[in-house]
Copies of this chain bind each other. A is one copy, B any other.
Amino acid sequence: MERTGVWLVGAYGNVATTAIVGARAIAHDVANTTGMVTARPPCTRLDLPDLRDMVFGGHDVRDTSLLETARRLSAGGVPTADVVETVADDLAEIDENVRVGTAVNCGRAVTDLADETLDAPDVGDVVGQIRDDYRSFADEHDLDRVVVVNVASTEPGVADPDRYDTLDAFERAVEANDRDLPASSLYAYAALVEGHPYVNFTPSTGAALGGLRELAERENLPNVGRDAKTGETLLKSTLAPMFAARNLRVRSWEGHNILGNDDGLVLENDANKAGKLASKGDVLEGILPDIEHNRVRIDYAPPLGDWKTAWDDIRFDGFLDTRMKLQFTWEGSDSALAAPLVLDLVRLVAHADEYDEGGLQPQLASFFKAPLGVDDHDFAHQFDLLERYVDRHAGEGDDGRVRR
């Protein structure tokens, strides 16, 4: 597993930039791996690609640079100015690998932000251009594998996604220049066709469409998503099972999120927000089927910058109908929570790909709000899946087993 390409759709965004800065800072020994799941047991028992050997590239629709994003983030405290300066040259080099992406069906919230977009006469051409971008990246850097990760702004959901339920239907839509296909699915399709594993870090549609699942299955390529679980939902999937185990009847769970970065700005738009709320909302219903009131709010509060606060108010009944309550606030840097998981997912998906485990990846469920292929939202159960995967694979890299 030598040179792993990491293609970030949304490369100039906060999450992508923080992931790149972090990987390079670790490579330069000015940062540690806190926050990376793969840096501790059980994953340390796997033979995973080294962060130092990752090569970054990606698409974006804004005309900026990694350094610019990094400096803006740094003004809010993370990463520090020192770290940014240490990796500044690396960032400039990686800028060379960033191509103009498509924003088709990403909604006004995104097109308002965009400076330039890939606008070909029809959908097939857009896909063609994306495939070319992937191919030149792999060729130019002589990469053994490229993992495509969607960390672009959240798109509005697709209406009636069932029409793309088979690969055949999907491909006919591309040919027929169907103007409803969202950007995220075009990026995903291009990735799978080119033989690259695909990770959807966002709530956007990506490769969740039936047709693309079929394609990944057929090509035996990892197809992973969606919407990384980094804050309020992580806590929900940790806490709700305790209420269930103890037979405490949760009656109301009200979650209120405030954040001040561009992700928050895009989510001010009702269409874009809808997808996010959907993936967040399901978690509780799954674990606590009798819940009466379950609402999530996301509010854009610019002075918070990249910091996000979730406040959750949970009312439950205990013995003898006693009304009780749990309230929490969770405060963190949005990007610092997300970025290490991007790197983890790349490493774990590369591993699965290496060991010919294509299709959905249940062992990665703990990373996502709406994990493809896993219905259980209990974080501990999901993490168990990862532990079992590791048990299954541990030691493989060492024992001379021939890999793909």
Contacts and interface: CB of A to CB of B under 8 A. Distances in A.
A37 B325 contact: no
Contacts of A197: none
Contacts of A21: 320
A242 interface: yes
Among A36, A321, A325: residue with most chain B CB under 10 A: A321
Contacts of A311: 256, 311, 313, 327
A40 interface: yes
A35 B234 contact: no
Contacts of A234: 242, 246
Given A319-B18, A319-B340, A293 B297 contact: no
A330 interface: yes
A158 interface: no
Interface in A340-397: 340, 366, 378-381, 383
B302 A318 contact: no
Contacts of A379: 242, 245
A173 interface: no
Nearest to A21: B320
A378 B235 CA distance: 15
A162 interface: no
A333 B337 CA distance: 24
Contacts of A254: 258, 299, 301
B318 A322 contact: no
A304 B315 contact: yes
A33 interface: yes
A251 B33 CA distance: 16
A78 interface: yes
Most chain B beta-carbon contacts within 10 A, residue among A35, A322, A330: A322
B303 A22 contact: no
Contact of A34 (B33, B248, B297): B248
A247 interface: yes
Nearest to A230: B246
A222 interface: no
Nearest to A243: B238
Interface in A287-326: 292-293, 295, 297, 299, 301-304, 309, 311, 313, 315, 317-322, 324-326
A79 interface: yes
Contacts of A378: 380
A93 to B, nearest CB: 20
B320 A83 contact: yes
Contacts of A303: 251-252, 292-293, 315
A258 B78 CA distance: 24
A31 B329 contact: no
Contacts of A80: 320-321
A39 interface: yes
A78 B322 CA distance: 7
Contact of A380 (B78, B241, B251): B241
A79 B319 CA distance: 9
Interface of A: 18, 21-22, 25, 31-37, 39-40, 77-81, 83, 234-235, 238-239, 241-242, 244-249, 251-252, 254, 256, 258, 260, 292-293, 295, 297, 299, 301-304, 309, 311, 313, 315, 317-322, 324-333, 336-337, 339-340, 366, 378-381, 383
15 contacts: A31-B321, A35-B246, A36-B247, A37-B247, A40-B247, A80-B321, A235-B239, A256-B297, A318-B332, A318-B333, A324-B337, A325-B331, A326-B328, A328-B329, A380-B381
Given A25-B320, A322-B333, 14 more contacts: A40-B244, A83-B320, A235-B239, A239-B239, A245-B379, A254-B258, A309-B313, A311-B311, A311-B327, A319-B339, A325-B330, A325-B331, A326-B328, A327-B329
